[in-house]
Amino acid sequence: MAFKIYNTMNRAKEELVPLDGKHVRMYTCGPTVYNYAHIGNFRAYMFEDLLRRYIKFCGFEVTQVQNLTDVDDKTIRGSIEQGLPLKQYTKKYIDSFFEDLAKLNIEPAEHYPAATDYIPDMIAIIETFFEKGYAYQSDDGSVYYSIDKFAGYGKLARLDREGMQSGARVAQDEYDKDNAADFALWKAYVPEDGDVVWDSPWGRGRPGWHIECSAMSMKLLGESFDIHTGGVDNIFPHHEDEIAQSEAATGKPYSKYWMHCGYLVVDGRKMSKSLGNFYTLREILDMGYTGREVRYELLSGHYRQSLNFAFKSLDANRAALKRLDEFHATIKEAIGAEKVADELPEWASGTRAAFAAAMDDDMNISGAMAAIFDMVHAGNKAMAATPLTGKQAVAVSNLWKELDTVLGILEPPKEEISADVAGLLEARAAARAAKDWAESDRIRDALAALGWTVKDTPEGPKLRKI
Ligand code: AMP
Ligand code: ZN
């Protein structure tokens, strides 16, 4: 079996074959840390999480780099508005970004470079552009990339080269295809930049956004690597400009595959800060939803399609997760003290292959989830008639854990037991030791009132959430 991924560069599904055969190096455009990330951003990071997890499931090693854009037009504007030094301003959002990743059970990348730590690398790349004739300095002192010097300009976004305004310049980090023009590599200092400024051979200033990713990706992953990811809005201009910079600097191919996820939308419109139709993760958690429910939601649609965000789907996820948890609890009970696995029962024997076949097809998550729910459905029916042996249950549990290395939602989160509940459990053990059955029953009812059932097993009493 081969893992096929949709390569935006060729507009086709292609087998993932790492450049060195066994180790996938991937770069993920990370957050601009000028505010709390919204769950639209996390849709992109979730797609990348699913991707890295499935790559590992396929037996490859992964090195993922996700950058932190801590200097650009937006972070500078924000820090000045709040009267804080740039590093201090962005730190708050970097910290909250990592907290949110943990709540969503997104696996950490291997590297999280911050742009401000790579300024000399950016300067070194821009210097090669002057040597090779790709860069020029404008009257205001800023340095621009001359797009007509790079023959491949427009190959990712499939731009019509005829219509390009070479020689015209665009200073902002974000612009659209109609304004494809020479873009800023280095922006000369203006008073609005406050104290955000570095020296360079072309005078004081700061880098443009696009050069940041070229510098950090190649420094940490090498000049050529395997996969570059982001949301579809990154295709142009950001990724197009990264290709132009990186390939012009090295003369080598930059990323072998380009993968982009569709938008999280609200009423048909992209969730975004500028439209104001966004929710941060913390807002949703404050409403009583869990990170696991949001994770389920962000995973639930195919990554290349738009995913509509609605609270009623979060409610439906709660019910779906409950079904998974009940199945999981039944398996755990059947395991008892057994440690050794036997063959899988017949109803679970085809699940791994069905799951992998769906995921191999450009991460067809609906097919993969269907394989799991089919197993749960068939398993519940079969186990109602004939309980599993402990050894079979261990095999099912192992499969469940293996599939969860990809999904990150199957294993129930560890229940937090409050001090009250722990105290009641102890009191119940004491009552039972003293053969005070009335007291033991009273405590059982008190636990039930707090939402717990207790069951006595050979390994001692086990609590389970009702
Ligand atoms: P930004 O901080 O705006 O640079 O965005 C960070 C990442 O989130 C980029 O990869 C974007 O493509 C992605 N992104 C932003 N909004 C959405 C959305 N509504 N749905 C999916 N991805 C998004
Ligand atoms: Zn980037």
Binned average pLDDT, 10 residues per bin, the chain of 466 residues: 95 98 97 96 98 98 98 94 96 98 97 98 98 96 96 94 80 87 96 95 96 98 98 97 98 98 94 94 95 96 96 93 96 95 97 98 98 98 96 98 98 80 89 91 90 80 79
Per-residue confidence (pLDDT) for residue 461, from 0 to 100: 82
For ligand 1, whether the C-beta of 270 sits within 6 Å is: yes
Q: Which residues pair with 455 in a beta bridge?
A: 462
pLDDT at 78: 96
Tokens, residue 285: 């958690």
* DSSP code, position 363: -
**Dist CA 27 CA 258 (whole Å):** 10
pLDDT for the residue numbered 104: 97
348 lines ligand 1 (CB under 6 A): no
Kindly give the number of the ligand 1 atom that is closest to the alpha carbon of 231: 12
- 223-262 pLDDT per residue, tens: 999 999 999 999 999 999 999 999 999 999 999 999 999 9
pLDDT value of residue 420? 83
- Tell how far the Cα of 213 is from the centroid of ligand 2, in angstroms: 5
d(CA 218, CA 254): 8
Q: Please, which residues have CB within 8 angstroms of residue 120's CB and are 6 or more apart in sequence?
A: none
Residue 40, ligand 1, Cβ within 6 A: yes
| C-beta 295 within 6 A of ligand 1 | no
Cα separation of the two ends of the chain: 41
* Binding site membership of 29 for ligand 1 (Cβ less than 6 Å): yes
- Ligand 1 mutation target, pool 112, 229, 233, most atoms within 8 A of CB: 233
Q: What's the 361 CA to ligand 2 centre distance in angstroms?
A: 26
Q: Domain residues of the chain, as ranges? A: 7-261, 281-407, 419-465
Integer Cα distance of 52 and 449 in angstroms? 42
Verify cis geometry, omega within 30 degrees of 0, for the bond prior to 237.
yes
Ligand nearest to the CA of 235: 1
Is the C-beta atom of 70 inside 6 A of ligand 1?
Answer: no
Buried/exposed 162-194: b ≥16 CB within 10 Å, e otherwise? eebeeeebbbebeeebeebbbbbbbbbbeeebe
User: Is the shortest distance between the CB of 396 and ligand 1 below 6 Å?
Assistant: no
* Ligand 1 atom index nearest CA of 43: 21
Query: Class of the 7-261 domain?
Result: alpha beta
Structure-token match 């398993």, residue found: 379
Closest Cα partner for 115 from 19, 214, 228? Answer: 214
CB of 66 sitting under 6 A from ligand 1 = no
Q: Whose CA is nearest to atom 6 of ligand 1?
A: 31
Query: Which ligand has the shortest distance to the CA of 66?
Result: 2
Q: For ligand 1, atom 14, which residue shows the shortest CA distance?
A: 41
Return the H-helix or E-strand segment holding 24: strand 23-28
Measured from the CB, is residue 301 less than 6 Å from ligand 1? Answer: no
Whole-number Å distance between alpha carbons of 151 and 161: 9
Q: In angstroms, what is the span from residue 390 Cα to ligand 1's centroid?
A: 46
Which residue among 41, 269, 273 is best mutated to probe the pocket of ligand 1, counting the most ligand atoms within 8 A of its Cβ? Answer: 41
| pTM, full prediction | 0.91
Q: What's residue 452's pLDDT? A: 87
Does residue 43 have its Cβ closer than 6 Å to ligand 1? yes
Q: Of the candidates 9, 275, 38, 32, which has an alpha carbon nearest to the alpha carbon of residue 173?
A: 32
HSE at residue 354, side-chain half, CA atoms within 13 A, is 16
Using alpha carbons only, give the angle 84, 88, 93 rounded to the nearest 5 degrees: 110
32 lines ligand 1 (CB under 6 A): yes
